[in-house]
Structure 1
Amino acid sequence: MNQLFTYKQTILLFLLINIGLLLSGCVSFTTYVVNPFSQVIDSIATIFDGNYGLAIIAITLAVRLILLPLIIKQTRASKVTQEKMKQLKPEIDAITAKYKTDQRPEAQLEMQKEMSAIYAKHGTNPFAMLSGCVPLLLQMPIYIGLYYAIRESSAIATHSFLWFELGQTDIILAIITIILYVLQAKISTLHLDNSQQQMKFILYVTPIMMCFVVFIMPSALVLYWAVGVLFLIAQTIFLKRLS
């Protein structure tokens, strides 16, 4: 087991333990999540002469840089999986055609067994690409902490950054964020062929979901997403050139 895999597993375990403690009521959510997060924002804002907007940007970049090794590993693994799935497509299509007219539960179960046998034979897992959701899950405590820090701290909520207040919604920032997410999805799907239409759809799910979120969330959280997706765009371009 390499060190990077251990690192990922350790973070996930730490996250699950803490979520369990919070949900069980053994620890105070405000004491162990909101207050420390508010203190971190205050401390970083002090470096920028009390500018909470720059503090949020700094936190965003720090989180993205910490997650970067994990994302690079998952991107490479996902690419390998995609290449293997292309090679296996004729065999998978043959199995699908074999059971196309037989919709009995036992026949469909047999079809799944044959597909699983092929995946096992070639050492691949079609669900491995879903591991790209891990970085999103790891950021959930930050979303929650930032949201409640704004609610608990009037200094953060009333702070003006650029043209908006961090504690208020802003239509312009929301639209910019959606455009950035669409752009990121477009860049990510540039080299996907027609056989990967499902992957294209998945990549466009995030912009669609963001449309229902960014217009009702405080601008501080939307700023976090906007800076994060800008980093993601640069990261995607870098990784494509690297490969």
Structure 2
Amino acid sequence: MKKKKNWLLVLSMLALVFVLTGCGTGTVDSSSTGLWDRYIVYYFGEAIKALSFGNAGIGIILFTIIIRILLMPLMHYQTKSMRKTQEMQPKLKALQEKYASKDAETVRKLQEEQQRLYSEHGVNPVSGCLPLLVQMPIMMALWQAISRVPELTQGTFLWLELGKIDPTYILPILAAVFTFISTKLTSMGQLEVQGSMKMMNYIMPAMILFMGIKLASGLSLYWVISNGFQVIQTLLINNPFKIRREREAEQKKKSDLEKALRKANNPKKKK
């Protein structure tokens, strides 16, 4: 299940590259028609302009922070679901060993037992994909606004022309670095990191870097702020270092209890 979700993530990001580079042409303004152009891209552009205070880059930064704040409940739900899934791993492994055969009937029973286990623990196995599914249309609309709303297309921020790629590649590199730190912190908080998760720690930053050097620098600015916010949020709310300390303390307590029980059950013989 987890491998399928990871590959779904990769395929979704690849699809996003093609969609961003191919959809929508022409200027978007109040006279535009269609649901996407008139009511999504246009109002994204208007929201960014309202937050710009004379600089489109500031508008993108503030817009990104607001989006991340609005997404915090969803991200918190994802984090809680991931932790519950990690706690279920021993039981899931036991089921996989019990139904190790690959025939259709055994596979069906395994899937039924896994679904029952998820239901008992209140875990949605696809919840990890929700933040991505929510953010994808946001990124698409943001890129379209930057590329098609004149005030944003011609906007500047520091050394950047927001409607064009970053010629120094500084922002794409920063976006990739923050993405790596974010995914690394997330994996550190898990009980067991599978090979597919380790692979994603490198695939995601690489894809962000690739898109960053191909698309408008305004989108890279969004990724830098968004993933930087995610790093801070993880350290404050789901700090993997704190989680590890708590697990180590719990394991030590459990080990001490087991030693005490063994000692009580096997007293030394009196001479």
Q: When the two structures are superposed, what TM-score results if normalisation uses the length of structure 1? A: 0.74
Mapped contact 1:78–1:128 kept (Cα < 8 A): no
- 1:65 shift after superposition: 0.5
- 1:173 shift after superposition: 1.0
d(CA) in 2 for partners of 1:90, 1:55? 51
Q: Residue 88 of structure 2: SS of its match in structure 1?
A: helix
Q: Which moved more, 1:84-93 or 1:69-78?
A: 84-93
2:88 maps to 1:92: no
Mapped contact 1:192–1:200 kept (Cα < 8 A): no
Identity %: 30
Segments of 5+ residues of structure 1 without an aligned counterpart are: 1-25
The amino acid of 1:112's aligned partner reads V
Q: Which residue of 2 aligns with 1:178?
A: 176
Structure 1 vs Structure 2 CA RMSD:
2.6
Q: Which residue of 1 aligns with 2:253?
A: none
Q: Which residue of 2 aligns with 1:7?
A: none
The amino acid of 1:143's aligned partner reads M
Q: Which residue of 1 aligns with 2:85?
A: 81
Q: Which one of the candidate residues 125, 129, 132 is aligned to 1:133?
A: 129
Q: Residue 215 of structure 1: SS of its match in structure 2?
A: helix
Which stretches of structure 1, 4 residues or longer, exceed 4 Å deviation after superposition? none
Q: Which structure's CA Rg is the greater one?
A: 2
Q: Residue 214 of structure 1: SS of its match in structure 2?
A: helix
Please give the residue correspondences for 1:37-186 in structure 2 after superposition, counting only pairs within 5 Å: 37-45=44-52, 48=53, 50-96=54-100, 99=101, 107=103, 109-124=104-119, 128-170=124-166, 171-186=169-184
Count the aligned residue pairs: 206
Mapped contact 1:168–1:219 kept (Cα < 8 A): yes
d(CA) in 1 for partners of 2:141, 2:180? 26
d(CA) in 2 for partners of 1:198, 1:174? 24
- The C-alpha deviation readout for 1:13-34, integer Å capped at 9, x for no partner, is xxxxxxxxxxxxx944321122
Mapped contact 2:48–2:59 kept (Cα < 8 A): yes
Q: When the two structures are superposed, what TM-score results if normalisation uses the length of structure 2? A: 0.67
Q: Which moved more, 1:142-151 or 1:78-87?
A: 142-151
d(CA) in 2 for partners of 1:133, 1:204? 18
